[in-house]
Amino acid sequence: MNTSNNDNIGVKNAIVAAQAVNAKLVIPQFKNLSTKPTDFNDLMCLEGADEVRRQLANAKEVEPTIPNDEKAKKPSQATLIMDLTKDLEFFHDKQNVTYATIENNGHKETWRLSSQDFQNWLSHHFWKIHQKAISKNVLQDTLGILHGKASFDGNCHEVYTRIATVDGVIYINLANENWEVIQVTKDSWEVLKDSPVKFTRVINMQPLPVPLNRGNIDNLWQYLNIPKKYRKLVLAFILECFRPNTPFPILVLYGTQGSAKSTTQEIIRMFIDPSTCNLRTAPKKSEDLLVAAANNWIVSFNNVSHLSSVQQDDLCSVATGGALSTRELYTTHQEASVNIKRPVIINGIGDLVTAQDLIDRCIILELPEIKPKDRKTEEQIMLDFSKEYAAIFGALLDILVKTLQELPNVKLLNKPRMADFALLGTALEKVMNWEQGSFMDDYTYNRTESMAGALEHSSVAVALTHLIEDDYCHSFSGSYNALYTRLSGKYKPDMAGWVKSAKGLANQIKRQKPALRAIGIEITLDNQRHKDGFHVHIKRIENNVHQVHQVHQPTIDEDCQGELTGEHAKDNFLSTPQVHHETPH
Predicted confidence (pLDDT) per residue in 201-230, tens digit: 988 899 999 999 989 999 999 999 999 999
Same domain, 338 and 356: yes
- In 7-93, which residue ranges form alpha helices assigned H by DSSP? 9-21, 40-47, 49-57, 68-71, 77-84
Looking at residue 495, its pLDDT comes to: 58
Same domain, 66 and 87: no
Most confident of the following: 64-73, 168-177, 446-455: 168-177
Looking at residue 566, its pLDDT comes to: 32
Q: Is residue 184 in some structural domain?
A: no
Most confident of the following: 28-42, 161-175, 330-344, 559-573: 161-175
Q: What is the residue range of 86's domain? A: 77-157
Q: Is residue 162 in some structural domain?
A: no
Same domain, 304 and 280: yes
Look at residue 135 and tell me whether its pLDDT is greater than 50.
Answer: yes
Reduced to 3 states, what is the DSSP secondary structure of residue 289? helix
Q: What long-range pairs does 310-316 form, CB within 8 A, spacing at least 24?
A: 310/286, 311/282, 311/283, 312/353, 312/354, 312/355, 312/357, 312/358, 313/355, 313/357, 313/358, 314/286, 314/289, 315/250, 315/289, 315/344, 315/358, 316/355, 316/357, 316/358, 316/361
The CATH number assigned to the domain holding 228 equals 3.40.50
Backbone angles phi, psi at 324, to 5 degrees: -115, 135
Position 473 confidence tier, pLDDT thresholds 50, 70, 90: low
Q: 121 Cβ partners below 8 Å, 6+ apart?
A: 102, 104, 111
Looking at residue 250, its pLDDT comes to: 94
Q: Which domain-ending residue is among 157, 184, 200? A: 157
Same domain, 61 and 81: no
Same domain, 247 and 395: yes
Q: Is residue 288 in some structural domain?
A: yes
pLDDT in tens, 483-513: 888 888 776 655 567 888 888 888 888 878 8
Looking at residue 358, its pLDDT comes to: 85
With contact defined as beta carbons under 8 Å apart, do 62 and 75 qualify? no
Q: Is residue 179 in some structural domain?
A: no
Q: Is residue 15 in some structural domain?
A: yes
Task: Round to whole Å and give the CA distance between 248 and 254.
Answer: 19
- Other CB atoms within 10 A of residue 85 CB: 20
Looking at residue 313, its pLDDT comes to: 86
Position 322 confidence tier, pLDDT thresholds 50, 70, 90: low
Same domain, 398 and 473: no
Look at residue 325 and tell me whether its pLDDT is greater than 60.
Answer: no
pLDDT in tens, 417-436: 899 999 999 999 999 999 99
Q: Into how many domains does the chain fold? A: 4
Task: Round to whole Å and give the CA distance between 92 and 159.
Answer: 9
Tell which wins on pLDDT, 345 or 582.
Answer: 345
Same domain, 271 and 418: yes
Tell which wins on pLDDT, 80 or 35.
Answer: 80
Q: Which domain-ending residue is among 375, 395, 429? A: 429
Q: Is residue 51 in some structural domain?
A: yes
pLDDT in tens, 3-25: 445 467 777 767 776 776 667 77
Mean pLDDT across the stretch 536-564? Answer: 47
Mean pLDDT across the stretch 99-114? Answer: 92
Same domain, 298 and 355: yes
Dihedral sign of CA atoms 264, 268, 270, 273 in order? negative
Same domain, 259 and 377: yes
Task: Round to whole Å and give the CA distance between 26 and 88.
Answer: 49
Look at residue 62 and tell me whether its pLDDT is greater than 80.
Answer: no
Task: Round to whole Å and give the CA distance between 510 and 524.
Answer: 10
Q: Which domain-ending residue is among 70, 94, 114? A: 70
Same domain, 255 and 142: no
Same domain, 459 and 563: yes
Look at residue 106 and tell me whether its pLDDT is greater than 90.
Answer: no
Looking at residue 338, its pLDDT comes to: 59
Q: What long-range pairs does 424-429 form, CB within 8 A, spacing at least 24?
A: 424/236, 424/239, 424/240, 424/243, 424/246, 425/232, 425/233, 425/236, 426/584, 427/403, 428/232, 428/235, 428/236, 428/239, 428/399, 428/403, 429/232, 429/584
pLDDT in tens, 274-299: 998 877 777 777 778 888 888 889 99
The CATH number assigned to the domain holding 495 equals 3.30.1370
Q: Is residue 489 in some structural domain?
A: yes
Element spanning 448, H or E: helix 438-455
Looking at residue 28, its pLDDT comes to: 83
Q: Is residue 17 in some structural domain?
A: yes
Looking at residue 176, its pLDDT comes to: 95
Looking at residue 498, its pLDDT comes to: 83
Same domain, 334 and 458: no
Q: What percent of the chain has pLDDT over 70?
A: 82
